[in-house]
Every structure is written in structure tokens, then in C-alpha cells.
Structure 1
Amino acid sequence: MTDTTAAGATIAPAVTKPATKPARPFFSSGPCAKPPGWDAARLATESLGRSHRSKLGKTRLQYCIDLMREMLRLPETHRIGIVPGSDTGAFEMAMWTMLGARGVTTLAWESFGEGWVTDAVKQLKLDPTVVRADYGQLPDLDKIDWSDDVLFTWNGTTSGVRVPDGEWIPVDREGLSFADATSAVFAYDIPWDKIDVATFSWQKVLGGEGAHGVLILGPRAVERLQDHTPAWPLPKVFRLMAKGALAEGVFKGETINTPSMLAVEDAIFALEWARGLGGLEGLIARSDANAAALEKIVAERDWLGHLAEDRGIRSKTSVCLTVEGADEAFIKKMASLLEKEEAAFDVAGYRDAPAGLRIWCGATVDTADIEALGPWLDWAYATARDS
């Protein structure tokens, strides 16, 4: 039987602790769950303890780049480089080296987009046009001025909001498109003809390790690097030009600074696992199935909702949920209960986002574990409410 409050809000009844737990209760939105079957003992170790400049080190780095190109179906027109600083380092490298040649528009509908606004305004002092939307929403993308360089997050990790597709990006744009795609690559089919700069980290859809970023440059971005000299000094780890020419070695496994070869081998494991699924289609299918399973859980519970109410802009990876009547303390209690039972780890929403839950549905999560999560959410909600 379901009770109601005086105001008419539905309250879930007390719930018995479920008997079955998710086999892998890893729902963090970064670092994310390892691929199924992952084991440290299965990683190749020949490159460990060797210089990344050795023939073997460069071969493994190039192999990792080649696998990323294959899995992303990235055209040869686009270069791929492994860079320091995770997705943040990669995106800031792009900003510091390429912005300033023309006007800048920054789009923000979650905390990481706001971070790029801060960089553009306070660090680079570019006086950008800032276009914002509240958490759970998108601004009117059709009104973006593409005579500017445009910075945006393809999939907002902290808001659960994504751009619907690439149709809003014109082929004949004058400015460059800069996509922070860290929660999007390997989960969506990105239209690379619309992307001049993209960045991501292995720690998201691949379930890899943090600290390393990936920078993807289209031909127009390379042209910008060659034709534009920034007005500010560049730290060594940001420099993509050498003696007036593009540092091509960065895109052939000759990293700017020393990478963790263990992290590289871990990424290779994940990419080879993805290849075994059938590549990008297999990864997308797993993410889609996970998101659909979570959507079913939400639809069956009137106390759960989606922060992104519009399905057309709702993330399929970092899915952000609202909880009826919950504040930050309530969410922390729910998350703590689930963690103590080892039923779900790291499901509280991001600290800057509205209070709620955030469930990672990327390809490394098994759909059966999403399905098993539903009864545990019921239990945690009822327990937190009644305690």
C-alpha cells in the first residue's frame, strides 16, 4: 500500500532489503567501471619499466592511437594525440593554443562548461559571448554565432544533458568548433566533419585510468595552430608547435611529457575489448541498453525523475536523476546506505549540480547490473526517508 502526505505527494512504502546485488556495483561517472572481464594480470607488461621513447614504447603508444582511430571511425584528416592532464588538460591545451584569433562563444549548461567560461574570461581575458542554460536544459543552439570559435560540452557529465546531434553546427562555419566530448566519445556516433577540436579521457566510456587526455584535431584546427600565435605565454605541456611547424610527433606517440605506460596498456585492453564487441556499434548498443534499463526503472517509480526531462537531449552515459523531496543530505544518506551494502558505489550527483542521483550507463557497465539496481534504490530511498 502507498501512503500520501497531506500535500498529496506519494511516499514509497517501507522496502525489504533486496536479496540480489549488482555483480559489479560500479556506477561512478569517472573513473568509470572497468570493462567486463578486466584483470590487471591480463594487461600487457612488456612496455613497463621501459622508456616511452624506446621503440617498444612508441610502438605501443602508436598502437593505442590507431585503436582509438579505428573505434571512433575517425577520418585520416583528423590527428589524435595523447596529452597530459586528463580531459581538462586536453581542452585547456586547445584553448590556450588556438583561441584569440577571432571572437569566442562559450556554452555552459553544467559545471565543466562553466569551467571553460572561467578560463576564457578570467585566465585568457577574451571577453567571450557566454550562452547559458540551467541544469537539465540546453540553450537555443540555432542562435549560436558561428563567426566565433564555439566551445561546448557534447555530453554534460554533471547535468545529464547532451546536444541532440551535430545538425546545429554548420559545415561552412567560420569559427572552430571545440567539443569537450569526454562523456560522449564511444557512446555516440560523432559527426567528425562538424568537429575541429575534440577532447576526452580514457576514464569515461572506456573505463580507463585518469591523468591522460586525448586531443583530436581536424584540419582547420591544425591550420589555426600554424597561422595563429597566442598573445600569452604557453607552458611546455601545452606547446603543439616546434620551430614554426606542427609538432607532428605528438600525434604519432611521441608524447609531450612522460605518460604512464601502465595506463596506456590499460587503455589498449579496453580498446581491444571494444573491438571484440564489434567496435563503435557494439559500444553504442551497450550504452543504449543500459540507458533504456535505467529509464524503465525511473518510469516505474513516481519518486524518481530525470533532470533532463527532454529525452532528445538526455545523456545515455551520465544519467542524472531527481529524487522527490530530496536535498543534498538526503542524497548523501542514500548513497552511503548503498555503498555500505556494496550495492552501488558513487551514485550521488555532482557537488555543483542540483541534489539527485547520477548513474553511469556507459558501455563498461552490464545491463543486468542496472536492472538489479532498481530494488536497491527503492530500499535506500525508503530507509533514508524513515531514518
Structure 2
Amino acid sequence: MSGRVFVIGSGMTKFEKPGRRENWSFPEMVQESVPAALKDAGIGYSDIQTAFASFVQAPTCSGQRALYEVGLTGVPVINVNNACASGSTGLYLARQAVGSGALDCALAFGFEQMAPGSLSMDGGGLPGPLDKHLSVLAGMGPPSGAPVTLEMFARAGQEHMQKYGSTPEHFAWIGWKNHHHSVNNPYAQFQKDFTLDEVKESAAVAPPLTKLQCSPTSDGSAASILASERFVDEHDLWDRAIEIIGQAMETDQQNSFDPPSAIKIVGADVSKRAAQRAYDQAGVGPEDIDVIELHDCFSVNEVLTYEALGLAAEGEGHLLVDKQDTTYGGRWVVNPSGGLISKGHPLGATGLAQCNEMTWQLRGTAGARQVEGATYALQHNLGLGGAGVVTIYARPTR
């Protein structure tokens, strides 16, 4: 990486409950998100040199199928599947390509058209990406009957409570906070301001989690356009360019599985290593960050990620909840968009929607959810199996 890389265009659809929009398939979603990003960047589709398409549940080459509805220019399309981190993986690849000098302008877009209900882990009899994780989970006692990923994060929450003294009320506050934030996000699947009691008393799914502390299945698409410094200069795009100053991807190491720990198998160490590498690359630390979008697939993971990102020491993430330090008026604003819990979680689009939110926050164009004076922003996206991507953004200097 020798060159600077900038986000110059952002676009997305509203995230929706699966099937809510009639005849809304993933090509139609992409016809909304990609043109919106191009318009935001002030460039044409012919300026895109390579596109990275992120999705999980669609068939192979669905990136081409979706993008061909936008234009048939012969632009190379690379399909990316990295579980729930697919969108940020596409972003990572686009940044690598532009930062290396191989490209001047790249498109990263993601989409998902999901089935209602819990996420299926049926691999058709093939070896599963979570086999090692599930073998650790199996040693922790009989299964609860909850969907696999839900049970993994619920066990992580139970472990955190037992070891560090967090309580179900801490996790419920996270759910309340993120639903409260989403009221001001027109792209969010939920925009209802639930009370804390409503979050706590919603249907129990796996202790300590209730339904309103879990990300829903969602349909939707998001797109981001990345460009080199030369491209930004030539097209005079400094008024909208936001710089990626640090980015790292990590995967599991042996300590994810040995010694056995539910907190470890849901990616805590993966996130911690990615964050440290991104901080080192950016030359900033958690104390410099103003606004954060992190992977709150379940409220438990937000607390774990506070610790992984260095916002709190190990075992002290819940103390930030006690101080309300991760909402407006606190030290950081975490998930101003509503996060996955309330904005929604269309798998391939999630990481790019996070990128968009960070771009809008640093431009100062996030409307009623704007974090005043935001200078540095951080994005965290996690996929079990496993991949963790942390990206740090800044308002650029020329």
C-alpha cells in the first residue's frame, strides 16, 4: 500500500424485512444502490475500473447478474463471500487494489435477498465453516435448541456475566440504545423507539438475549466507490472525499479454540488483532475515534467489541453501559445508524452500509443522527468462520 485511498461515493437502499417489497429482487436492489453511489460521487459508471460484489446466499456470479442491470461496460466483476463480513471484505479488496496503484476507481457493492426467519446453516452435507467453532461449543453442555449463531453469542454473554459481572440489563440497554438511534435513520429496517422495558420483556430467545437484542434477517443493498488521490484531484472531488487511513483483516488463530471459550469462538481475539493493526496503520488510537459502527449482530457482541476495540479493558465493556458512554453525550457514539440490531443485517450489504454511515458522519451530512465535530471514524465488521475487518476513516487534508 503506497497510495492514499478515498471513499468518494455512497449509496444504499432502505433495509427491509424479507418480502416486504413486492417483486424486489437483488438486481432491483442494486439498481437503487449503485446509481445512488455514482450520483453521490459525481462520476459515471464508465469510470469504474473493477467492481467487487459481496453477497452470501445468492448463486455464483450473482454480482454480474446484479451489475449488468446498471450497465454492460465489460468492467471486471469479482464476487466476494466472507460470511457476515462480506461487504467489508469487498471494501478491503477495493482499497488494496486502489492503494497499490492497480486501479484509480473501484466499486464495492453488496446485497442480500434473504428468507424470513433465522439464518440457515445447512451446507448440504459438506464440511461446515463453523465445524471447529461448534466442536468447542459442544463441549460447553447440551444445545439449547436455539439457532447456532444465536446460541454461540448467548453462551458468550453467559461467560462474560460469569467471569466479569455483566448482567442481562447491560445487554438490554445496548438493544434499547440502537433502536433509539435508528429512529433518525431513514434507511433502517426498524424506526420504532422501543422503551428499555419493551426490549427486556420482548420474547426470550436464548438467555441473556431477547428478540429485540438480535439483528433481523433483511433485504437490501449498499455501495461505496473508492478512488486514488490522482482520481480525486483530476475530478475535483475533495468536497466529498473521506480517506481510509487504516484497515486490517484478521482470521482465527489457535487461541480462538484453545482453551475453550465462547467469547473466543465468536471472534473477540480476531476483532482485537484487526483493531490493533488498523490503529497502528492509521497512527491513531481508540481515544482519537469519535464515531463507530460495529458488528452488533447480538447485543452481547457490542459489549465484547467495546473491549476488542480498546474502548474498555478486558472484562469492562459493560462499565461503558453504566456510564452511557457509547451514545450521544458520551465518549463515543456507537452505531448511530441503529446498528445491525435495528438498521438490519442483509449479510453482503452490511459492511458497505457501515462504510456509508462513516462517510456521511465525517462529511457532516448525517442529518438528525450527526455526531458533531466527528474527525475520525471506525468501522468493525465480523463474519464467523471467520473474518474480522476494521477500517478507520478521517476527514482528509490535501
> Does the alignment reach a TM-score above 0.5?
no
Give the TM-score normalised by the residue count of structure 2.
0.25
Give the TM-score normalised by the residue count of structure 1.
0.26
Higher radius of gyration, 1 or 2: 1
